[in-house]
Amino acid sequence: MAGCGSWVFFLTVCSASLFGASADIKVTIPVGRFFTHELLRETFQNDFEPLGKVYGILYNDPIIFKCNKQNFPDLPEWLRFTQRNPFDNGFLYGTPMSPGKSIIEIYATNQRSYDTVRHLLIIKVVPEKILPYQVEVFIKLREIEKVLPSTVQDEIKQDLQKLWDRNPLEMINITNALDRGGRVPLPLAGHFEGVYVKVGSKEYFSECLLRVLTLENKNQCKEEAKIKVPGECHFCINPSNCITWCKTELFDLTKMKPKPPAPTMGSGILEAGEDFRPLESPPSRDYFPDYIVTVIVPLILAIILFLLLAYIMFGRREGVAKRNARSNQIQLYHHYTIHENTDELRTMAGSRGVPPPLSTLPMFNSRTGDRASPLQSDSIPLIMAQQDPYSDTLPRK
Ligand SMILES: *[C@@H]1O[C@H](CO)[C@@H](O)[C@H](O)[C@H]1NC(C)=O
């Protein structure tokens, strides 16, 4: 196992020295100047297929990038990354505002083979004087990825240089208008996201630029935002690079108030002081009124209701007794009348001389009118239902 591990290690070192040595890119940039680093797909394609050239196979794979500061999940605050689609180059760009060193990890993933390579970009930011006069312009017909290539940056810089009396300029910032509250354009030809470009110079603003500050210009722009660049200040050769005049802003950093000093940081440990005194416990509360309201009052109500019910049920006994006495009388009356009626019937029955109806006599046959003597009754079958009930006189064939 140990041998295997060392082999893997050896191979890693080998491949690292073969392809990885060139992967570390070191750049030194000044504070307050715009920085761009283009991630060329071609370079990464070579890393994925190092022998491709030898065999004459050329791939054009979709490649996506993921960039972060080493040992951190994201990029430094000042650095931004953009790549429009996997067949375009990516860009790292931004303006560092304080000196220091950042190590950026760039992971490229080949979306065909899912191979991944890592490059390191070591950015050293060195102190530099901030340019006191800065101008920000808006270029409507551009997108950030189209402006970031250095050739386009130079074109734009040249145009602005003419606007600024041919003074040397430095690029300070390029921002996607979408990052500044711009709207996503319609997916149609002639609609662009727009970019803000900020340049700076040691020299004071030109006549042309100072027009931006005039009251007349401000009023005109307020009324209608589509004011053309004044004729003598119109320098853009490529129509894509033309600025929107009314969105031009001047910054005179010499007139800016110095920033209030940053709050001094403590050591993070509280100074030793007096002993900790816990808060006093809150005053004790009197629960007696609550007790009366929640327990005593319902109890009294319950007792009153109980007494009231008890009075209704038992207290009016007089009435109950009276009713009982009357019902006793009624019962007695009934008893006597039944008694009298029985006696009356008995006397009536005793005095009758008519023979009782035949049907009341035993063994009387209603069909023949025979009267069998009780002595003969043994010869008569008890069950006559042996015959057909519908022709009881005729025996069955
Ligand atoms: C550059 O533009 C970005 C985005 O608008 C902003 O956050 C950043 O502060 C700007 N940097 C400078 C130096 O102006």
Check which CATH number belongs to the domain holding 28 and give it.
2.60.40.10
Q: Can you tell me the mean pLDDT for 383-388?
A: 54
Which pLDDT does position 12 carry in this prediction?
43
Q: Which helix (H) or strand (E) holds 145?
A: helix 144-147
Mutate to test the pocket of ligand 1, among 173, 199, 249 (most ligand atoms within 8 A of CB): 173
**Ligand 1 atom, smallest distance to 173 CA:** 1
Residue 133 pLDDT > 90: yes
CA distances from 196 to 149, 180, 242, 253 (A): 15, 9, 12, 19
Residue nearest to atom 7 of ligand 1 (CA): 78
Substitution candidate for ligand 1 out of 174, 175, 178, 196 with most atoms within 8 A of CB? 175
Q: β-strands 133-139, 249-252: how paired?
A: antiparallel
User: Which residue segment(s) compose the domain that 190 sits in?
Assistant: 133-252
Residue 328 Cα to ligand 1 midpoint, Å, equals 111
In a domain, 225, yes or no: yes
User: How many structural domains are present in the chain?
Assistant: 2
Distance 36 CA to ligand 1 centre (A): 14
Do 83 and 164 sit in the same domain of this protein? no
Sorted by sequence, the CB contacts under 8 Å of residue 147 that are 6+ apart come out as: 139, 153, 156, 174, 195, 197
pLDDT at 29 over 90: yes
- Residue 22 backbone dihedrals phi, psi, to 5 degrees: -75, -10
Reply yes or no on whether the pLDDT at 336 is more than 50.
yes
In this prediction, residue 329 has a pLDDT band, given cuts at 50, 70 and 90, of confident
The best mutation among 75, 95, 199 to test binding of ligand 1, ranked by most ligand atoms within 8 Å of the C-beta, falls on: 95
Between the CA of 16 and the centroid of ligand 1 the distance, in Å, is: 36
Query: Tokens 């063994």 belong to which residue?
Result: 363
Question: Which of 150-159, 241-250, 310-319 is least confident?
Answer: 310-319
Which of 176-185, 223-232, 363-372 comes out lowest in average pLDDT?
Answer: 363-372
Give the helix/strand (H/E) hosting 288. helix 288-291
Give 95 Cα–ligand 1 centroid separation in angstroms: 7
Length of the chain: 397
- The verdict on 137 and 175 lying in the same domain is yes
> What residue owns the CA closest to ligand 1's atom 3?
175
Domain end: 252, 287, 322, which one?
252
CB 208 within 8 A of CB 230: yes
Q: Which residue has the higher pLDDT, 390 or 217?
A: 217
Distance 153 CA to ligand 1 centre (A): 17
Do 157 and 234 share a structural domain?
yes
User: Does 117 lie in the same domain as 27?
Assistant: yes
Range with lowest mean pLDDT among 90-99, 244-253, 277-286, 355-364 = 355-364
Quickly list DSSP for 47-80. Answer: HHSTTHHHHT------EEEEEEETTSSS--TTEE
Residues pairing with 27 in the sheet? 123
Task: Give 22's pLDDT tier (boundaries 50, 70, 90).
Answer: low
Going by alpha carbons, the residue nearest to atom 5 of ligand 1 is 175
If pLDDT is split at 50, 70 and 90, which confidence band does 348 have? confident
Residues 87 and 137 in one domain: no
Range among 55-64, 132-141, 261-270 with highest mean pLDDT value: 132-141
366 confidence band (pLDDT: 50, 70, 90): low
Q: How far apart are CA 277 and CA 281, in angstroms?
A: 12
DSSP assignment of 166-180 equals T---EEEEEEEGGGG
Does residue 199 sit in helix, strand or coil? strand
Lowest mean pLDDT among 35-44, 46-55, 128-137: 46-55
- 381 pLDDT more than 80: no
Report residues whose beta carbon is within 6 angstroms of any ligand 1 atom: 95, 97, 172-173, 175, 179-180, 198
Among 120, 132, 141, CA closest to 23? 120
Residue 113 sits in the same domain as residue 139 = no
Residues 28 and 82 in one domain: yes
Split at pLDDT 50, 70, 90, the class of 176 is: very high
What spacing in Å lies between the alpha carbon of 85 and ligand 1's midpoint?
A: 24
The residue nearest atom 10 of ligand 1, judged by CA position, is 173
Look at ligand 1, atom 1, and give the residue with the nearest C-alpha.
Answer: 173
Give the residue-averaged pLDDT of 160-167: 88
Share of the chain above pLDDT 90, in %: 45
Closest among 106, 103, 69 to 91, alpha carbons compared: 106
Q: How far, CA to CA in Å, does 274 sit from each of 64, 267, 279, 352?
A: 60, 19, 15, 130
Cα distances from 4 to residues 1, 12, 14, 17, in angstroms, run 5, 12, 15, 20
Distance from residue 135's CA to the centre of ligand 1 (Å) = 13
Using one digit for the tens of pLDDT, what is the confidence trace for 266-295?
887 777 777 878 888 888 889 999 999 999
One domain, residues 239 and 137: yes
